[in-house]
Structure 1
Amino acid sequence: MSPVNESLFEFPCDFPIKVMGKAHPDFADTVASVVRQFDASFDATRVETRPSSGGNYVGLTVTVRAISREQLDDIYRALTGHPMVKVVL
């Protein structure tokens, strides 16, 4: 019996990650530097930014070049563990 591949993705692939946190002038740069630890080719100029209606929070969509499930898990762990980040989807 062959092993079952549980991944729904074919790697490498571009993978969008949504990151939300309190509005702060350094939020996007901070998230970009966390992501860059795991994806050296990450292009911070492609980050999409959406402020909340009240302006207190900001949502970012960062697209990484995912090479493995483990890499994505590491990025998610690093982002969710960062004090500026409230939610990662």
Structure 2
Amino acid sequence: MTSSSDDSVFEFPCDFPIKVMGKSHPEFADTVVLVIQKFDDGFHSGRIETRPSSGGNYIGLTCTVRALSRAQLDDIYRALSAHPMVSVVM
């Protein structure tokens, strides 16, 4: 395992899934891609799995990013959580 100062349980770099949920909107997925690309320039829509809610009011995205560090993941989580279109990030 790669050693790091924060004793991470992850070995970087790695593919890391991030779940993002929000109200259904035609531009939701594209907006999430743009936010993530600020931290992972190789990220694209092909790395997203989409699941609409049963009622169609919400959408869930599983975005697999190429994580290079814990700090990068923290930055992605903060940026997504702060976006007005995003309800939940896991």
Pick the TM interval, shorter chain.
over 0.9
Q: Post-superposition shift, 1:43?
A: 2.3
2:66 maps to 65
Could you tell me whether the CA contact under 8 Å between 2:47 and 2:65 is conserved in 1? no
The answer for unaligned runs of 5 or more in structure 1 is none
* Root-mean-square deviation (Å): 1.3
Identity score, percent: 70
SS of the residue aligned with 1:11? Answer: coil
1:12-51 equivalent positions in 2, closer than 5 A: 12-51=13-52
CA radius of gyration, larger in: 1
TM-score after normalising by structure 1: 0.93
Q: SS at the partner of 2:78?
A: helix
Letter in 2 for 1:77: R
Local SS of the residue matching 2:10:
coil
Letter in 2 for 1:32: V
CA distance in 1, matches of 2:26, 2:19: 18
Distance 1:34 1:46, change over 3 A: same
| Residues 15, 4 of structure 1: alpha-carbon distance in 2 compared, 3 angstrom cutoff | same
The aligned length equals 87
Offset of residue 46 of structure 1? 2.2
